[in-house]
A and B are shown apart, each in its own frame.
Chain A
């Protein structure tokens, strides 16, 4: 049985007008979440339940990284944070996907960030580049020589071609595989800003290697400009 529509459905407000162009389920969600009183409270409770289901799924999938301790609290916190994010971004929803799919992505974002931060709680972000050893060794003598040459050039490029900040970000994110959200937290910045730095570092390294005739020497450029990252916006995703 479909939930009864609040009186706002008859309104000519921009929100009500936009809601009427959506699929029935999405329309119902938006109108109820923008309503007042008991209607809104019920919608919020349903939305929270929807987000909690997604958060639990994410945490279950990542339980090997997390353990069962604090599972329920983490799921609840992720759902709470996702609910706040969804409500703050409600005007961004344009009905180009199902409302549930759109809302779920907030839950997965919050749950994943929570897991990453929980795993790294109390751990220092490694700044050494000892992890280079993981890239050594390739089957076959020809492959080993080629890989060793590439590795040596890459190590040198990280030292000489990058700015100190780019080096720090590259070593942490790419080499030591520190989660971007963890590093963002430690450095007081955002995921987007850090990934942009990593992207720029990668472009510099690729260019440096290409100038030495090393590969990605298998990759040839079509123009003189660097591979682009689309415009980055401020802040995190939620």
Chain B
């Protein structure tokens, strides 16, 4: 089901109810996380390349935390 957002629900309820759009599973998120982060570092269209990833990161606090840490760490390392 594709949901069109006319107006955002209160942020607190969004956290309870999740993104409400197609998302990757935790396993799929982990599988592509390294590629996703590298695209983010290159400031290319990471979300377009991996549809459903941003929705999962919105809905899953654990995967979101690991993504944030990997991105932050990768930014500190020489490329």
Which of A's residues lie within 8 Å of B, judged by CB? 54, 57-58, 61, 92, 96-98, 100-102, 104-105, 108-109, 111-112, 116, 134-135, 138, 147, 150, 154, 174-175, 177, 179-181, 191-192, 195-196, 198-199, 202, 205-206, 215-216, 218-233, 235, 237-238
- The residues of A that contact B25 with a CB separation of less than 8 Å are 192, 195-196, 229-233
With A104-B74, A223-B2 known to touch, is A175 a contact of B30 (CB < 8 Å)?
Answer: no
Asked if B66 is an interface residue, CB under 8 A from chain A, the answer is: yes
Contact among A96, A112, A237 with B26 in the assembled complex (CB-CB below 8 Å) = A237
- The residues of A that contact B3 with a CB separation of less than 8 Å are 216, 219-222, 227
Nearest chain B CB to A130 CB, angstrom units? 15
Contact among A101, A174, A237 with B15 in the assembled complex (CB-CB below 8 Å) = A174
- The residues of B that contact A233 with a CB separation of less than 8 Å are 25, 27-28
Nearest chain B CB to A198 CB, angstrom units? 7
- A163 to B14 Cα, complex, angstroms: 21
B interface, size bucket: 35 or more
Contact among B7, B10, B23, B65 with A199 in the assembled complex (CB-CB below 8 Å) = B23
Q: Let me know if B26 and A218 touch, CB within 8 A.
A: no
A-side binding surface: helix, strand, loop or mixed?
helix
- The residues of B that contact A238 with a CB separation of less than 8 Å are 30
Nearest chain A CB to B50 CB, angstrom units? 11
- The residues of B that contact A230 with a CB separation of less than 8 Å are 22-25, 28, 52
Q: Let me know if B61 and A177 touch, CB within 8 A.
A: yes
B-side binding surface: helix, strand, loop or mixed?
helix
Q: Let me know if B70 and A104 touch, CB within 8 A.
A: yes
- A154 to B14 Cα, complex, angstroms: 12
Which of B's residues lie within 8 Å of A, judged by CB? 1-10, 12-13, 15-18, 20-28, 30-31, 33-35, 37-38, 52, 59-62, 65-66, 69-70, 72-74, 76-77
Given contacts A180-B26, A230-B25, list 18 more A-B pairs with CB under 8 A.
Answer: A57-B72, A101-B37, A101-B70, A101-B74, A108-B73, A134-B12, A135-B12, A175-B16, A191-B62, A192-B27, A215-B9, A219-B3, A221-B3, A222-B4, A227-B3, A227-B20, A227-B23, A237-B30
- The residues of B that contact A174 with a CB separation of less than 8 Å are 15-18
Q: Let me know if B27 and A227 touch, CB within 8 A.
A: no
| Contact sample, A vs B, 14 pairs, CB 8 Å cutoff | A105-B34, A108-B70, A150-B13, A154-B16, A192-B26, A195-B60, A218-B7, A222-B3, A223-B1, A223-B2, A227-B3, A227-B20, A228-B22, A233-B25
- The residues of A that contact B13 with a CB separation of less than 8 Å are 135, 150, 154, 216
